[in-house]
A and B are shown apart, each in its own frame.
Chain A
Amino acid sequence: MKKYLALALIIFSAFLWGCPNTTSYSRGVYMLLDTSGTYKKELKRAEAIISYLLGTLQPGDSLAVARIDSGSFSEKDIVAKMTFDKRPSVANQQKRLFKQKIDDFVRTAKGSAYTDITGGVLQSVEFLNEAGAGQKYILIFSDLKEDLVKGQVRDFPIQVDGCNVVALNVTKLRSDNVDPRDYYQRVEEWRSRVEAGGGTWRVVNDLERLENIFQG
């Protein structure tokens, strides 16, 4: 009788141990950096945002940083990507390495004539889905104006189901000063594209309040 009881206890323990919750509570963040034109000068701000992200993200979370300065977005545009280890000590080491890569990139980055935000967003959705993140964040550090290679088509609906798309530091262009409606129109177009694709849209321009990225 006691043997059966012990066996039942072991099976029950194994059952409890072996059935973790399938809901993922990890966060996945994909940050797109615009290095075209005047935005190269804004990279220091982007670096500060990445530092904030590295300090905020927990073991088990994922982070990727990519630039959107090529004519057509691809894997080679990813500056650094990492899923942090579940052990805090190892995750801290990974974060140091990540920071080093970003520092190197900021030091050596060159300006580009093109900006393919749509391509970057599509790549980020793939990355976040593969990482299995429970909460997905796509951060766009750009003025939201796309400069595509002639002949490229990007005006199609995008699928960003369950993604929180946050536009950071959306500066006004010189042409925006002439007619501010252009700025609002760009932001509104992206909002409608993201929301039509099943995602949520937010603009965070005050970089003193970066905690707003993960709110809402």
Chain B
Amino acid sequence: MSLTKLLIIWPGSPIISMLIWIVVMVVLLYLARTPAHRAIYSLARVFHNGFRLMSRSVMLAEQKLVQRNKEVLLSAGIESVERLIEREFHRVNSVVKRDLSGYPTLHRALSDQATKIDEDYRESSETPPPPPAWVSAVEAVANIPSQGDGTVANILSEIQKTSVGQYKSTMEEYRKSVGERHNLLKKMMPYWRRMAQTLEQVGKTITGLHERANVIDNRMAEYEGIRDKTDKAARMLTASSLTQFFISGFVLLIAIGGAVINFNLIALPMSEMVGGGSYIGSFKTANVAAMVIILVEVAMGLYLMESLRITRLFPIIGHMDDKMRTRMIWITFSILLVLASVEAALAYMRDQIAADIQALRQSLAAVEATGIAINSWIPTVGQMVMGFVLPFALTFVAIPLESFVHSSRTVIGVAGTAVLRWLAFFFRLLGNVSRYLGELMVNIYDLFIFPPLWVENLIRDKRRHRPEIIVEEEAS
């Protein structure tokens, strides 16, 4: 007996059977209304709470990530500002070493110049004229009345002559001494100039130091801001990191372009060394070898930059003592030099192989070489120079790489935060949707059983109105 036959209650009339079934179902659903509503609400609440919990967890993770990002950012900022302050102190140190280390000598020179000037000044001081004590005696003699005495007149005349002569010789001596004093003062002029220059130089140095001190003050203020973990400092560092990320990414792309050109320059001649038909995996051994050479060059460049303390990607190199670091510099530079020379040789070989292949193709096509011959040494030399220079150029990849690595931490952190925030929002949305979905399901449930619900409401209304009618009857 099939299920269809089982469902037909009224034989010969499926519509009536169906109606009976509907009535039965509606009655059953009406009877099960309260527990069904509870079940639907419970299910909706489970989903709602579950999604809200997930959203909360994600938000907590986001907050932790934000905190972590801030810490990383501030730590990087502190390191960066420390480096800048350290550099400023190095500059101050070098200025002090260069200019102020000779201060004792300078002081002595200034002291000597001052002594010399002092001596000259003293020598150039005006000598007072001889005391005029005899002038009153001369006046007394001059007042003696001559009374026509020729002797007295002669004496007085002699006295006058003598005093005039004396006056002349005194004046001459005075002029001479004044001239000497002027000469001495003239001699003092270069000393004054020299002293002025020396003092000007000292002034410049002091001004430079003052400017440096201002820079250090600004950096220190920045440093304190970061140490205090202010939001302003964090925002500034984030903006700076994003800028660094894009700039360093752009420079790295340029470097990758250089590496690709370098690769093409040495891949063909490498096949002459390692064979053109051998493979490692699905890659030609010659290509892999060329790539390895380029990567080794980049690695050597990184070590060189680390040893020079330009970058700080490998702390172990930075912590080496100066002697070891110097050794490291020379070793990495030597390896780079050797690799650059090898590349130049490979570039030359590439030119030779390319010319040979070209000649073979021409002979196979039975075509004679025609046209104006271009100076063949120009591309050859160009390729060799490129082969030699590119390894050294790749050395400087270390600088943008360091910036990229450091800034990518911040960028990844910011992106992760954004993703987590969206995820939290999405879970919250799902939670709310599931809650309202539960309500919707309850309403739909009620829609299926609206006839008994309508009857129920009718009966309830009647019961509610009945006491009012009784009260009205009693009142009348």
Query: Assuming A21-B279, A26-B277, is B272 touching A87 (CB within 8 A)?
Result: yes
Nearest chain-A residue to B349 (Cβ)?
A89
> How many Å from the CB of B348 to the closest CB on chain A?
13
Nearest chain-A residue to B275 (Cβ)?
A86
Is the CB–CB distance between A51 and B278 below 8 Å?
no
Is the CB–CB distance between A51 and B364 below 8 Å?
yes
Cα(A95)–Cα(B360), bound, Å: 8
Cα(A26)–Cα(B281), bound, Å: 14
Query: Assuming A87-B272, A88-B271, A89-B272, is B277 touching A96 (CB within 8 A)?
Result: no
The residues in B between 351 and 371 inclusive whose CB is less than 8 angstroms from any CB of A are: 352-353, 356-357, 360-361, 363-366
Cα(A86)–Cα(B289), bound, Å: 15
Tell me whether A216 is interfacial, beta carbon within 8 Å.
no
Tell me whether A23 is interfacial, beta carbon within 8 Å.
yes
Nearest chain-B residue to A26 (Cβ)?
B277
The residues in A between 9 and 44 inclusive whose CB is less than 8 angstroms from any CB of B are: 20-21, 23, 25-26
Cα(A86)–Cα(B284), bound, Å: 12
Nearest chain-A residue to B273 (Cβ)?
A87
- SS class, residues of chain B in contact with chain A: helix
> How many of chain A's residues touch chain B, expressed as a range?
20 to 34
Q: Pick out which of these stretches binds chain B: A57-65, A120-128, A152-160, A161-169.
A: A57-65
> How many Å from the CB of B47 to the closest CB on chain A?
53
Tell me whether A171 is interfacial, beta carbon within 8 Å.
no
Tell me whether A91 is interfacial, beta carbon within 8 Å.
yes
> How many of chain B's residues touch chain A, expressed as a range?
20 to 34
- Could you give, for residues 60-79 of chain A, a 1 whenever the CB lies within 8 Å of some chain B CB and a 0 otherwise? 11000000000000000000
Candidates A21, A60, A88; contact of B357 at CB < 8 Å:
A88
Query: Assuming A55-B364, A59-B271, A88-B271, is B277 touching A21 (CB within 8 A)?
Result: no
Nearest chain-A residue to B356 (Cβ)?
A92
Max chain A C-beta neighbours (<10 A), residue from B268, B352, B361: B361
Tell me whether B280 is interfacial, beta carbon within 8 Å.
yes
**Which B residues touch A55, using CB under 8 A?**
360-361, 364-365
Query: Assuming A87-B271, A96-B360, is B353 touching A60 (CB within 8 A)?
Result: no
> How many Å from the CB of B29 to the closest CB on chain A?
66
In the assembled complex, 30 residue pairs joining A and B whose CB atoms fall closer than 8 Å, in A order, are A20-B279, A20-B280, A21-B281, A21-B282, A23-B279, A25-B279, A25-B282, A51-B365, A55-B361, A55-B364, A59-B271, A59-B275, A60-B275, A61-B277, A86-B271, A86-B275, A86-B276, A87-B271, A87-B272, A87-B275, A88-B268, A88-B271, A88-B276, A91-B276, A92-B356, A92-B357, A92-B360, A95-B364, A96-B360, A96-B363
